[in-house]
Chain A
């Protein structure tokens, strides 16, 4: 698993979500994300889903819960590089209406080349 949190110079707090994102693993990362969100006050909160092979509704819940907190702080959320399958799951829960979903292909190639 990657390191959970990264901070970029342009104010992004990037959360690299785990390979298997279920209720168990979501519970394990929730606290660290919230602590960093409140203490580092980033410009944007990015959920990097490029490494997420499995996700269920607990993953949706994790993002939704952080969305609620980030909204209070006025921090926008971006979901980056979900697999087609995970993107389908996100759209089932109508996430495209509340957050930006983007694909960074270059990033993806770098990952698969590894």
Chain B
């Protein structure tokens, strides 16, 4: 992988008020890249889903740390890695299926991974029971229509 143009790594506690914090951080990271309105909204939503999963599922009944890494590359590609040290996912393939949820009583609709998948260009999920989960998403931003400084 080529060297990123910019990189941010932050770690925060799995508290629900940090969902909006994570969205703010990714927004602040992306704004200088001049994303289209929809591209920014896609990424904000995908990040929100990944962070909410950590809070609701990975650290169910407990509080742990979530690490979010954001990288951008020269070709306009961004890479987002959100990882936790929580309970892990028993069956990743099943978890990624639309409408599948382990917590229907808690108003979870089972769309988290589907949304991450459709709002990014690629989604990779690796998980180990008892060791945590790592979600990696990439998205290529369309070239800005701004005239680059000469």
Residues of A within 8 A of B (CB): 20, 22-24, 26-27, 30, 54-58, 60-62, 64-65, 85, 89, 92-93
Q: Are B19 and A61 in contact (CB under 8 A)?
A: no
- What's the least CB distance linking A1 to chain B, in Å? 13
Within B79-122, the residues touching A (CB, 8 Å) are 99, 106-112, 114-115, 118
Number of interface residues of B (CB under 8 A): 25
Q: Are A58 and B23 in contact (CB under 8 A)?
A: no
A-B contact count (CB 8 A): 61
The reply to whether the CB of B70 lies closer than 8 angstroms to some CB of chain A is no
Expressed in whole angstroms, the Cα–Cα distance for A92 and B118 within the complex equals: 10
Q: Are B107 and A61 in contact (CB under 8 A)?
A: yes
Q: Are B111 and A22 in contact (CB under 8 A)?
A: no
Expressed in whole angstroms, the Cα–Cα distance for A26 and B48 within the complex equals: 13
Binding site of A, secondary structure by majority: helix, strand, loop or mixed?
helix
8 closest pairs, A vs B, by CB? Answer: A65-B107, A24-B16, A61-B107, A57-B111, A61-B109, A56-B48, A23-B52, A60-B109
**Chain B positions within 8 Å of A89 at CB level:** 45, 115
Residue in contact with B19 in the complex, picked from A24, A62, A65, A93, CB distance below 8 Å? A24
Q: Mark B27-41, 1 if CB is under 8 A from A, else 0.
A: 000000000001001
Expressed in whole angstroms, the Cα–Cα distance for A58 and B109 within the complex equals: 8
**A85/B16 contact (C-beta < 8 A), A57-B49, A62-B107 known:** no
**Chain A positions within 8 Å of B110 at CB level:** 57
Q: Are A22 and B48 in contact (CB under 8 A)?
A: yes
Expressed in whole angstroms, the Cα–Cα distance for A55 and B44 within the complex equals: 10
Q: Are A85 and B38 in contact (CB under 8 A)?
A: yes
**Chain A positions within 8 Å of B44 at CB level:** 54
Residue in contact with B115 in the complex, picked from A23, A24, A54, A56, CB distance below 8 Å? A56
